[in-house]
């Protein structure tokens, strides 16, 4: 069985990313990646209200756009598979900037509100046979903010509820998370092309969605990889 080169945290122009889903597929496909997840933001209602008052507007997928977003990702997934043999997992980053938690929900089919509490988001993700990941769960990240501080403050309680914790995000390695020996993965939190060079996950499993989800849950054949460019294969 092969090691798969994976990245499960990627933003596109559907939220605050600079690249379209097609450009993301081309970048990762040309580099030789096996599995990517596109995970644009869905945002809590307090933060939506605040964003609407500002001129910058909303850079998140709204509830009413969710099915169009899903369809766009399925179209990108078909192209990725045909052209590169690369698997694209549709997902979202459930983003609550009021209570401060960011959660990746991978392979979900229905909208999940970021207004729900963490346990309910994990539960709803599981009901849809999806994977839940605690994002950048430590007080510092590349932007110097603490957008997911709630998850770290409550990590003892939430430890085994998540399918995995993001032990590395872009340039940051959260050794305090690693030392806890939680299930982990590592991701780019990709927003623009230069973020391709970042922490990634290697999984040893078959290249299909069910095998990938099982490998994240079991978390035994998983490895971290700091990608610094070039064609992987």
Residues 22-51 within binding reach of Zn ion (CB under 5 A): none
If one asks whether residue 166 binds Zn ion (CB under 5 A), the answer comes out as no
Could you tell me which stretch among 49-57, 96-104, 151-159, 203-211 binds Zn ion (CB under 5 A)? 96-104
Kindly list the distances between the CA atom of residue 85 and the CA atoms of 7, 19, 80, 154, 217, in Å, as whole numbers in the listed order.
15, 21, 6, 39, 23
CB of 75 to Zn ion, least distance (A): 22
Nearer to Zn ion, 100 or 126 (CB): 100
Among 102, 124, 170, 213, binds Zn ion (CB under 5 A): 102
| Cα 194-139-100 angle, rounded to 5 deg | 90
Q: How far is the CB of 194 from Zn ion (least distance, A)?
A: 15
Instruction: Compute the residue count for the chain.
Output: 233
Q: Which residue is nearest to Zn ion (CB)?
A: 102
CB nearer to Zn ion: give 34 or 93: 93
Q: Give the interface segment with Zn ion, choosing from 79-87, 98-106, 161-169, 215-223 (CB under 5 A).
A: 98-106
Helices then strands, each counted (H, E), the chain: 8, 10
User: Contacting Zn ion (CB under 5 A), which of 28, 189, 200, 222?
Assistant: 189
User: Across the chain, where does the E strand assignment appear?
Assistant: 3-10, 35-43, 87-96, 101-106, 131-134, 164-169, 172-173, 184-187, 199-204, 222-226
Tokens 């539960």 found at: 123
User: Site for Zn ion (CB under 5 A): how many residues?
Assistant: 4
């Amino acid at each position: 069985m092969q090691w798969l080169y994976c990245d499960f945290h990627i933003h596109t122009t559907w939220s605050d990313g600079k690249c379209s889903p097609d450009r993301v597929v081309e970048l990762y496909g040309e580099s030789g990646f096996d599995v990517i997840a596109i995970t644009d933001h869905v945002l809590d209602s307090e933060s939506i209200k605040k964003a609407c008052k500002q001129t910058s507007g909303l850079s998140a997928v709204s509830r009413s756009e969710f099915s169009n977003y899903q369809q766009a990702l399925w179209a990108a997934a078909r192209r990725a598979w045909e052209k590169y043999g690369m698997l694209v997992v549709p997902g979202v980053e459930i983003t609550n900037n009021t209570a401060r938690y960011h959660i990746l929900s991978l392979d979900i089919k229905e909208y999940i509100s970021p207004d729900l509490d963490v346990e309910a988001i994990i539960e709803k993700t599981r009901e849809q046979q999806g994977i839940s990941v605690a994002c950048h769960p430590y007080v510092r990240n590349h932007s110097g903010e603490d957008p997911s501080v709630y998850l770290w403050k409550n990590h003892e309680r939430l430890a085994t509820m998540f399918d995995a914790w993001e032990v590395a995000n872009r340039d940051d390695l959260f050794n305090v998370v690693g030392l806890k020996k939680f299930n982990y993965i590592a991701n780019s939190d990709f927003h623009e092309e230069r973020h391709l060079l970042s922490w990634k996950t290697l999984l040893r499993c078959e290249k299909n969605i069910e095998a990938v989800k099982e490998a994240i849950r079991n978390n035994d054949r998983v490895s971290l990889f700091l990608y610094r460019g070039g064609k992987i294969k």
